[in-house]
């Protein structure tokens, strides 16, 4: 009891004599740019050097060779670099889907905006894969009815953009009428179930690909698009992708 009383008194003393509460009188703010005028801290730089060197060496590792440069702007409805990406996803992912889920992949759909750099001429390095696909998006396979696949075809027809596809043939008029539509060489059956590989960004509605929301199921292959490219580059020592007739204008 006595002890508590003493404590209480002391606290009161502190508050009377000591004005504990502090108030802000003034605030100054500044935004400071980090640029060439800021010296490099040698301790940090020395610490970083082995990491940087090791990373550089890995990024400069040559994985393949490309006959020519291919940009995503080289072509109206399909491009060589886009075809390479979509075909690589098909080639690498179809066997995984078959092995894990006993399912045959029907087609691949990626997005034109997702090609972030050209495929350069000459040496194709690890960093090429990082440049083309800097994001971490993964391959997912959507299970959908033929009727939903029709919506996908209508989306492509309306968008008139070189979104990379593989496994589908689509010919449209400039007015936006579908003249040819085949999947694995066959007409679409509206009640059949199809399997479409894409990336998780598009599956979630990216680029307004809302039709994916009508999927019946989805399989996550736990395989990044970038890793698909790296594995594809390693498997193919020469790259010579072409524009073709998979998605084209017709009369």
Q: Is 94 helix (H, G, I), strand (E, B) or coil?
A: helix
Integer Cα distance of 57 and 241 in angstroms: 27
CB closer to another protein, 31 vs 186: 31
Q: How far is the CB of 133 from another protein (least distance, A)?
A: 11
127-156 binders of another protein (CB under 8 A): 127, 130, 134, 136
Token pair recorded at residue 21: 């509460």
Integer Cα distance of 101 and 250 in angstroms: 38
Token pair recorded at residue 52: 């940087």
Instruction: Kindly report the number of other CB atoms within 10 A of residue 84's CB atom.
Output: 25
25-84 binders of another protein (CB under 8 A): 25-36, 38-45, 47-48, 51-52, 54-55, 58-59
Token pair recorded at residue 232: 């594809």
Cβ neighbors of 199 (< 8 A, separation 6 or more) are 110, 111, 114, 137, 138, 139, 140, 225
181-210 binders of another protein (CB under 8 A): 200, 204
Interface region with another protein, contact rule CB under 8 A, candidates 4-12, 90-98, 117-125, 191-199 = 4-12
Question: With binding defined as CB under 8 A, does residue 99 bind another protein?
Answer: no
Question: With binding defined as CB under 8 A, does residue 15 bind another protein?
Answer: yes
- Judged by CB under 8 A, the residue of 12, 62, 123, 217 near another protein is 12
b/e map 29-53, b = 16+ CB within 10 Å? eeeeeeeeeeeeeeeeeeeeeeeee
211-250 binders of another protein (CB under 8 A): none
CB closer to another protein, 42 vs 175: 42
How many residues comprise the chain?
251
* Site size for another protein (CB under 8 A): 51
Question: With binding defined as CB under 8 A, does residue 18 bind another protein?
Answer: yes
Integer Cα distance of 56 and 227 in angstroms: 18
Token pair recorded at residue 75: 């072509």
Question: With binding defined as CB under 8 A, does residue 1 bind another protein?
Answer: no
Residues that bind another protein (CB under 8 A): 7-8, 10-36, 38-45, 47-48, 51-52, 54-55, 58-59, 127, 130, 134, 136, 200, 204
């Amino acid at each position: 009891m006595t002890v508590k009383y003493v404590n209480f008194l002391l606290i009161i003393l502190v508050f009377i004599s000591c004005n504990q509460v502090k108030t802000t009188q003034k605030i100054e703010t500044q935004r400071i740019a980090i640029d060439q005028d800021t010296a490099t801290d040698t301790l940090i730089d020395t610490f970083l050097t082995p990491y940087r060197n090791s990373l550089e060496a890995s990024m400069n590792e040559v994985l393949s060779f490309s006959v020519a440069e291919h940009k995503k702007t080289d072509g109206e409805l399909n491009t060589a670099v886009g075809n390479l990406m979509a075909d690589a996803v098909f080639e690498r992912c179809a066997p995984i889907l078959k092995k894990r889920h006993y399912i045959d992949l029907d087609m691949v759909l990626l997005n034109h905006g997702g090609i972030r750099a050209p495929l350069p001429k000459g040496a194709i390095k690890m960093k090429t894969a990082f440049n083309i696909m800097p994001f971490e998006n993964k391959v997912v396979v959507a299970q959908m009815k033929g009727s939903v696949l029709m919506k996908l075809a209508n989306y492509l027809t309306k968008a008139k953009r070189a979104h990379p596809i593989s496994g589908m043939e689509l010919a449209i008029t400039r007015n936006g009428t579908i003249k040819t539509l085949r999947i694995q060489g066959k007409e679409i059956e509206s009640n059949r179930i199809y399997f479409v590989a894409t990336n998780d960004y598009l599956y979630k509605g990216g680029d307004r690909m809302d039709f994916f929301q009508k999927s019946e199921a989805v399989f996550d292959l736990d395989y990044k698009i970038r890793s698909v490219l790296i594995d594809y580059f390693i498997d193919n020592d020469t790259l010579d992708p072409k524009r073709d007739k998979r998605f084209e204008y017709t009369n």
